[in-house]
Structures are given as C-alpha cells and as structure tokens.
Chain A
C-alpha cells in the first residue's frame, strides 16, 4: 500500500500509531504521583519531539545516505523560522503560508551554501558548512538586528501590518497562530482516573507534517535517486570513474535536507511565534548530528528516536532540582540520603549535558548503529530463543542484509 513494501508499511504504520497516541504513551504516570516528573506528554515537548524528528529525518537524508556530514544545518532551521515569523507579521497568522515560505527560504539558502560547500568533501565540507552557519548566526545575532531582532529574537508585535487578518485582537492582544481558525495553542484535556492526557491542536498538525515527511523519506530511501546517494557514500570515486557526475545528486540531497530543516523551523514558529538567533548557533547544528548518530545514521526511524531522546533529556532531566531529589531520597536513612543526593545531583538539572554525554559515549562504543541497533539486538535475542532452527543453514545460502528501516 502507498507504494511501500510490507516491511516499510509496517514501520510506517508503527510510526503513525506512535505519533497519534503520543499523548497517552508519553504520560504513563498518574499526574499526582511522584513519577509525574517523568511525564513528557505536554504540548510543548511533544511538539518538540516531532519537529526535531523532522529536522533529524532531513539531516539523515544527507548524512545517512551520502555520508556528507554537514555541521551547518541549524542555519536552515533558523532561516526558516525567521521567514515564517515575517510571514506572520506581514501576511497572515495562518500557519500554512508561514510554513511554505520557511521551506522555500531554507531551500534557497541551502542551494547557495550547498553549491559552494559541495566542491569539497569530508572534513573540508563539514568545516565549510560550519563556517557558513556561524556566519548566518553572527548576521542574525547582531548585523541584521533590524530584520532578525538580534539577541532578543524576532517576535510578533501589536503593530504588525498584517494584510490578511487584524494586527491585534479585540482585547488588544497579539493574535495566536492558527490553521484556518483552529488555534495552535488550543488544548483538550481528558481525565481518566489519576491520569490526565492533553491533546493539543499544534501537536497534531506537527505530527501530521512529520508523518508526511517520514513517508517522503521512506520513498526517497527506496528510490533510484536514493540508490545513487548510497553509491556516493560507498565510493564516490568509483562512481565518478564510471562516468556519473555525483554533484547534482549530492546537491539535490543537500537542498532536500535543507528544506526539511526549514520545514522544522517553520513548524517551530507556528507552534511558538518567536525566532531566536540561538537556534542557528553551531551547537544547534551539532545537536542534530548527535540526534542522528544516537538514533542510528542511515536508518529511517533512528533519527526520530534520537531527537526524542535528546529533547526528553533536555526538558525533563534539566528540570529536576535538588529539592526534588531530596524528596525522592527522603525515605532513606539519614546520611545515605544526602550521599545519594550528592551522587545523583551532578547528573540532573544543569548537569543534563553530562548525562547526555555519557549516554552518547555508551551508544557510540557499544551500539555503533545507534538505538536502532540496540532494538535490533534485543529483537534478535528474542527471535533466537523462539526458533533457533531457523538459523540453521548447512548449504550457506546468501543471507539477506538487515533491513535499513529496522
């Protein structure tokens, strides 16, 4: 169905289910229990999961398929955000034009940067993209302050000349981004026993967009074009010797992944209409590299998982403070509780980077294929115990390669 083979379809349907039921899946703990701290099912974080998922899917099209490691993808996300906010300031608060213009601007910028940077490969390519992204950041942070709002970020004002729609609401406030009248910050609560689930309009818009981008990515991975990109990764020189010019393919991949980043940027401002220069800084570019590697570069679902893990740590772990820790360990005898607090404290709150670093190291050392490889190993473990005879192959038939989508 949908032009996907059975395995891809299963994967896609699993992702659809995960995205649609995220408000339930991410809120496993009753809201008044102590573990509610670990619930991630609130609109802002769920939106971040899918938006950074899109960003990482796009990045993976470039990095996972061609092996070109771009260290400047945050620039496209940032440009998309700025374009989106300007669209809301000038034209309408409807998010569709904002998202479209974000994708277009990010596409144009990535065509320019890609056209120059792709003259080199390997580390030189990475450095070039990094340099361009830092230039964009510096421009946004200070030089272009009238356009970008500088350090404060670009935000909506009460006197924006919005052509379609009013510049302020009847109550004298800034209007909220909406999709044909459905406001993005609209939420519905569903109480079930001790659990409380929040359904947010903004999240579902972002989730649908994510599913569409995920579907496109699967099709791209399976297309002849995707095969070309893989050829670039495995041996670009050999490809060139066979008479194929790889530049158009790599540039196309670069622009596509730039447009994915722009889409993520546009969605970010659709959820929260402010664009800050920090989202273009080089650490933001590094973050998407981390997401992709953590999840599994070159796999379909990996980047989404990686994005989810990093955003979860950033938002949940960083909010645990010393007071919360003391509460947890209060049941322990005196002395032991303070000891435990001292041990755990460096890894939570502002120390979440440390935890992320450790997880990243563990994954790279023990699971070079990322979280996806971890899942595959666990899966294999179960399969082997169930039917050990299946691996019996006295005639040594060629083994099927593990599916990239797994």
Chain B
C-alpha cells in the first residue's frame, strides 16, 4: 500500500515544479516561418519520393536518374539539358540560368514509396518534417500520388506528381498544392479512339480486362466512352486482381464472347503478363466476326514494352512522351540523359525531369518559394520546349494540357530501347475537356496552403 504525506514543503515544491512546467512552452519558438520549410540558408531542399522497391521499382529508378539530372542542370553542372530549350508561351526564354533556384543551390533527399500510400506518406512526411523539403515530387502510381498530394496540401508544401495516369489525381482528388504534368486516362481514350477507328473500323466489339483498382476503373471508363462514341460496342468488362501472375483464366472466355478486340487496362507487370498470355492463346492470329482479332493497351511505357518483348509488335497504345520524338527539346533531353546514363530516358523520367524544371521556374518567376506564390505562377502557365510542344497548366484543375502520342509496338526494333513507333501526335485540342467533365467531377481544389 502507498501513503501520501502532504506537507507544506511538499506542496510548495510541487507547485514550483508545476509552475515551471506551465511556463516551459513559452521558451519554445513556435515556427516563426511565413510558410512550411522556408529555405533560409543558401541551399534549398527538394524531396524525391519514388518507388525504389515493389512492382514499379524500374520506373522509380528511372525517375530518380531524371531528378539527379535535373538537379545537376539547375545547379549549372552538365550541359544544361532542357534549360536551353525551355521557353514561355510568349516566346521568352526561361528565367532559370543554372545558378540554382533564386540563387540557392538545389539539394535533394530521396525516399522509397514502396508503391504503398502509407509508406509514401511516411517518407514524404519525414522529408517535410526532418529534412525541410519545400517541394515533394515523384511517384509511379496514382494511389500514391493522390495520397501524397493530400498530405502536401495539409502540410503546406508543393507536390509535383510524377507518373500518375488516373483521372482522379486532377479529378475528384485534385488539390490546390498539387500539379500534374503527365496525361490521364481520358486523354488516352480521346487520342486512341480516332486512331483505332482508322485502323480497325467503327464496327468492333470490345472486351475489357481491367486491373481491379482506381486507375483501372478510370482507364476502362475513359476507353469505353471514347470507343463507344466512335461506334464500338463493349461486350464485357472483367476486373482482374492486381499482381495476378497468370491471366489465362481471364483470357479463355474472350474468344467465345463474340468480341473482336481485347482492351488490356493493365499497367506494369500485369500488362506484360496479360499480353503474353493473350498472345500465347493465339488471340492475335484469331478471327472473330469475320475480322482479325486485335489487342489494345491504353497506356504504354518503354519499360513495359521491354518486358513484353515480341508480343508488343503492332499493338496500339498511348504514351506521354517518347525519346524518339524529333523536336529539339526531346533530342536535347535524350542526349544529356544518354550521355550520363548510357541509355535513353523513359516517359516517367521525362515527366519527372520536366516537373522539377517547371517548379524551379515557377519559383524563379514568383520570386519566392512560398507555396501560394508558386501555385499562382503555375496556374494557367503556358510553356514550350519541354518535349511535348506548347503546353498549358490549366488553373482550374492543375492538369497540363499538351499533345498526346499514340504509339504502336515496332515491327523491326533496332535496339532494346527502340520498341515503340509513334503513329500519331494527337493535337491538344482533341484531348482537352471541361474541368467539370463527368469523368473528373466531384473534386475541388480548395485553396492553396502555406502551412505553418
């Protein structure tokens, strides 16, 4: 048993300690900055949050290479890359001159998202709380992008998303502090549909296999709506679990369904496996409804094409950027990336590099790292010379509008990187939509957040 003896001296002592305890917080300096992680020294820290493990580790590694290259160029090392081609809508050259951002040397920290929203948020939070990152960028899946974007909104830093293709990122989950340069499912559909109509006719019956998560849903919806607009019929849409190694049980019913086109709304390893299964089942040689059976893959990437190998030949898809583009900016970027790493960059690398430059430029123009000033500088910002032709960062939803590439698996590739050929560059007008388009409805940017 315990017994408490209350004495006058004891009460005084306790009172003194309690008083000191209450007074203690006043000596703490509550963050005196105007906004979260205001860079006060002669350096500024950016956070590169990419998947270094998990299903999209390949993309993540390529993104990280692009970020390192971008930092080099911003700090005036290397050949300057696309800083030399980056121009504004008015035709003026970028204000970035290779002496960092606003004269501050660019430093960076990296983290592993593991392609999980939880891990991605943990690593982004540690960059913000521990390393003082003023901007977070990266990611290779939409779930992660949406989660980190929401976190950055709360914390009051800018988020420049990497590879994220789902409509939701700038649709129902859009945030004022987040910006997306990459294209989206709707754009893929809008760009692919006319090409498909040309190549395969308007009287087709499509069968969708869809990865069973948000990106799969929005892509299926976008492709369905666009192809139904040109007269196609959707026979069936089947959801497949993410990461299923073997898709044969999903492929078998396709030929009996009366469909003559198979749309694979898969990405990464799933797409490689499902396409390989489909080819093994002889779908490409098959005939249905008196026509040749066809396969379509809405979102292509070079890394996927390499995984799928031979099977990808002649298959249509869309992509954000490809290194074989002949404009000066793309060539400049491919050259400086190739010189540093020995192979051409992927579309993930391209979008990440561009996002870093766009952020740096916006800060330079705004004259401040303050998130709200950066948001203002980026909204309705027109630029060119970053590989996609004239581009607009629309203020209403923070989505970049630019040309979309429709590509086809190359019949006679010359190297392991030369796997896709560009069929058509779909002009931006054809893929532009209203900010409140039904596929994007339900979201609201809110207002920009400067944080503490």
- On whether the beta carbons of B151 and A152 are closer than 8 Å, the reply is no
Q: Kindly state whether residue A59 has any CB partner on chain B within 8 Å.
A: no
- Complex CA gap A8/B406 in Å reads 69
Q: CA–CA, A44 to B111, complex, Å?
A: 14
Indicate whether A44 sits within 8 Å of B147 (C-beta atoms), given known contacts A187-B31, A189-B31, A350-B52: no
Q: Is A353 within 8 A of B25, CB to CB? A: no
**CB atoms of A185 and B25 under 8 A apart:** no
Contact of B213 among A42, A142, A171 (CB under 8 A): A142
Bound-state Cα–Cα, A171 to B68, Å: 36
Bound together, the chains give a CA A189 to CA B130 distance in angstroms of: 12
How far in angstroms is the closest Cβ of chain B from A386? Answer: 31
User: For the complex, what is the distance from the CA of A44 to the CA of B143, rounded to whole Å?
Assistant: 21
Please pick, from A188, A191, A278, the residue contacting B118 in the complex, using a CB distance under 8 A: A278
The answer on a CB contact under 8 Å between B143 and A152 is yes
- With beta carbons under 8 angstroms apart, the residue of B126, B143, B153, B241 that contacts A42 is B126
A172 and B447: CB pair below 8 A? Answer: yes
Measured CB to CB, the closest approach of chain B to A270, in angstroms, equals 13
Give complex CA distance A296, B18 in Å. Answer: 37
B397 touches A (CB below 8 Å): no
Which residue of chain A has its CB nearest to the CB of B64? A321
The answer on a CB contact under 8 Å between B446 and A152 is: no
Say whether B446 contacts A158, CB under 8 Å.
Answer: yes
Is A276 interfacial (CB 8 A cutoff)?
yes
- Report the bound CA distance from A278 to B114 in whole Å: 10
Q: Report if A189-B447 is in contact (Cβ < 8 Å); known contacts: A153-B143, A198-B129, A274-B151.
A: no
Q: How far, in whole Å, are A174 and B110 apart by their CA atoms in the complex? A: 28
Residues of A within 8 A of B (CB): 1, 39, 42-45, 48, 138, 141-142, 145, 150-153, 155-156, 158-159, 168, 171-174, 176, 185, 187-191, 198-199, 272, 274, 276, 278-279, 314-315, 318-319, 321, 323, 349-350, 353
Question: Given the complex of chains A and B, what is the CA–CA distance between A315 and B113 in angstroms?
Answer: 11
How far apart are B142's CB and chain A's nearest CB, in angstroms? 7
Contact A155 B150 (CB under 8 A): yes
Residues from chain A with a CB closer than 8 A to the CB of B118 are 153, 274, 276, 278-279
A152 and B142 within 8 A (CB): yes
Of A141, A152, A198, which one neighbours B147 at CB under 8 angstroms?
A: A152
Least distance between A78 CB and chain B CB atoms (Å): 10
Per-position contact with A for B47-68: 1 when CB-CB < 8 Å, else 0?
0000011000100000000001
10 smallest beta-carbon distances between A and B, as pairs: A151-B213, A350-B52, A276-B117, A172-B447, A188-B28, A44-B125, A278-B116, A151-B143, A42-B130, A142-B212
The count of residues in chain B whose C-beta lies closer than 8 Å to any C-beta of chain A is 52
Interface residue? B215 (CB, 8 A): yes
Find A44's partner among B2, B126, B444 (CB 8 Å cutoff). B126
Flag whether B449 is at the interface (Cβ < 8 A). Answer: yes
Report A274 CB to chain B, min CB distance, Å. Answer: 6
B446 in contact with A272 (CB, 8 Å) = no
A-side contacts of B437, CB under 8 Å: none
Closest to A187 in B: B31
Please tell me if B299 contacts chain A, counting CB pairs below 8 Å. no
Please state if B143 and A349 are interface contacts (CB–CB under 8 Å): no
Query: How many Å from the CB of A271 to the closest CB on chain B?
Result: 9
CA–CA, A48 and B108, complex, Å: 24
Residues on the A chain within 8 Å of B116, using CB: 276, 278
17 additional contacts (CB under 8 A) given A145-B217, A190-B29 = A44-B122, A44-B125, A138-B241, A150-B214, A151-B142, A151-B214, A152-B168, A158-B444, A158-B446, A174-B446, A187-B30, A190-B28, A274-B121, A276-B147, A315-B123, A349-B52, A349-B110
Contacting residues, chain A, for B27 (C-beta < 8 A): 190
Residue contacts A-B, CB under 8 angstroms, 10 given = A42-B126, A44-B129, A45-B130, A138-B241, A156-B150, A176-B154, A187-B129, A274-B121, A319-B126, A350-B52
CB <8 Å contact, A272 and B52: no
- In the assembled complex, the Cα of A362 lies from the Cα of B2 at a distance in Å of 44
B449 / chain A contacts, CB cutoff of 8 Å: 171, 173
- Distance, CA A405 to CA B30, complexed state (A): 39
Knowing A152-B143, A276-B116, A319-B110 touch, does A141 contact B447 (C-beta < 8 A)?
Answer: no
